[in-house]
Amino acid sequence: MKQGKQISVGLVGLGRLGRQHADNLAHRIPNCKLMAVCSVIPEEVEEAQQELNVPYGYTNYEDMLRNQELDAIFIASPSSYHCEQIEQALEAGFHVFSEKPLGLYMEEALRVRKAVRKHPNQVFMLGFMRRYDRSYAYAKKQIEAGAIGEPVLIRCYGIDPAQAMPGFMQFAKSNYSGGLFLDMAIHDLDLARWYLGVEAERVWAIGGSHRYTELAELNDAETGAALVQFADNKMGIFVAGRNCAHGYHIETEIIGTQGSLRIGTVPEKNQVMILDDRGVVRECANGFLERFEQAYMNEAVEFVQAILEGRQPKVTVEDGVLSTALGYACKESFESGQLVDVRM
Ligand code: NAI
């Protein structure tokens, strides 16, 4: 590792998540300097520059890519821009971190894979931050140590808080999100591949919009479910949604031949229990920024560390391609009502 070297990062996207990444990159990631920020909204750029003391600000991504002082680009723009912005950044010689999903269509995901392979000396990492969450990482270690025997079935709930609906509608209306499965369930689809150790083969997905019917107008679902057949007769059951009354419900169960593991079965905010006129209350985490605060930092630490050590991180472009293939098959099944094969 080059001692004392600082990695200069340019961040694109300063929205719900990008602004959090900006705070982390500016203050909390060792050997990292947030050198530039970019958004199409000038006020966001000015605010981030002033608050975080960032030297360069851009409203045009290509202008940021011309900044020779940068080593790496961190992408937190809307999902429909990821592939093009990854390719441009790699071509310009930068290491690249991109938020999930890799792509919204298979053609663009495969194009990015080609671009990543063409630049083997540049680090590429995808933001599947749950793999860097303390509990999810611990569960992986337990599985690898044989704690539950052979994992054969995974059951996942990923449901956004109903109170986040106005923010989500703004996000979904300003840019195509890919829909419930590619946008929301994608984290669970990636975890399923990671824990089960095999790839998905076939999918049946269903969904509906009952409280927020405006989601149906976007051809999307407020609540959806997918049943996935993996290789070796392994199984996945996924529930994704946007209408969780009690908060942010992220729960995972992995059933193995010798036992099972559960993560976040009661999605608690913390260890505090409130006993009052409502009864005995354990409050719930209220969103992704709260639940995965540590994981967003850990993944950025890993990205910077991988650059300094001249190696690739464990979350690869292949994980992006395969999860996109599965998410896209879920979307196709939901839209067509048919059982769909997962195709690359
Ligand atoms: P957002 O809509 O709140 O923010 C998007 C930002 O990108 C805004 O600053 C906007 O001005 C900027 N932008 C839009 N078009 C641009 C362009 N052409 N060039 C430069 N900047 C542009 O979106 P949000 O919620 O922050 O999501 C961003 C990405 O992060 C999405 O891909 C989403 O899927 C992902 N995400 C990941 C999460 C995770 O848990 N890993 C959680 C939330 C979002």
Is the CB of 320 inside a 6 Å radius of any atom of ligand 1? Answer: no
Residue-wise DSSP of 41-96:
SHHHHHHHHHHHT-SEEESSHHHHHT-TT--EEEE-S-GGGHHHHHHHHHHTT-EE
CB atoms within 10 A of CB 107: 8
Q: How far is the CA of 203 from the centre of ligand 1 (A)?
A: 28
Which residues does residue 97 pair with via DSSP β-bridges, in sequence order? 74, 125
Tell me the pLDDT of the chain (344 aa) as tens digits. Answer: 445 789 999 999 999 999 999 999 999 999 999 999 999 999 999 999 999 999 999 999 999 999 999 999 999 999 999 999 999 999 999 999 999 999 999 999 999 999 999 999 999 999 999 999 999 999 999 999 999 999 999 999 999 999 999 888 888 888 899 999 999 999 999 999 999 999 999 999 999 999 999 899 888 999 999 999 999 999 999 999 999 999 999 999 999 999 999 999 999 999 999 999 999 999 999 999 999 999 999 999 999 999 999 999 999 999 999 999 999 999 999 999 999 999 98
Instruction: Kindly tell me the burial class for residue 273, based on how many C-beta atoms sit within 10 Å of its own C-beta (0-12, 13-18, 19 or more).
Output: exposed
Report residue 16: phi and psi, to 5°: -50, -45
Ligand 1 atom 20: the closest Cα is on which residue?
39
Q: How far is the CA of 14 from the centre of ligand 1 (A)?
A: 7
Contact 187, 317 (CB under 8 A): no
CB atoms within 10 A of CB 338: 12
Is the CB of 236 inside a 6 Å radius of any atom of ligand 1? Answer: no
Is the CB of 245 inside a 6 Å radius of any atom of ligand 1? Answer: no
Residue type, 161: P
Atom of ligand 1 nearest to the CA of 39: 21
Residue type, 163: Q
Q: How far is the CA of 67 from the centre of ligand 1 (A)?
A: 22
Q: How far is the CA of 161 from the centre of ligand 1 (A)?
A: 18
65: Cβ–Cβ under 8 A, 6 or more apart, which residues?
10, 73, 88, 89, 92, 94
DSSP helix/strand/coil, 246? coil
Atom of ligand 1 nearest to the CA of 174: 2
Contact 190, 323 (CB under 8 A): yes
Question: Which stretch of DSSP H or E encloses residue 9?
Answer: strand 7-12
What is the ipTM, given to two decimal places? Answer: 0.99
Is the CB of 289 inside a 6 Å radius of any atom of ligand 1? Answer: no
315: Cβ–Cβ under 8 A, 6 or more apart, which residues?
125, 126, 127, 128, 131, 299
Report residue 210: phi and psi, to 5°: -110, -40
Is the CB of 183 inside a 6 Å radius of any atom of ligand 1? Answer: yes
Q: How far is the CA of 257 from the centre of ligand 1 (A)?
A: 40
Q: What is the pLDDT of residue 3?
A: 53
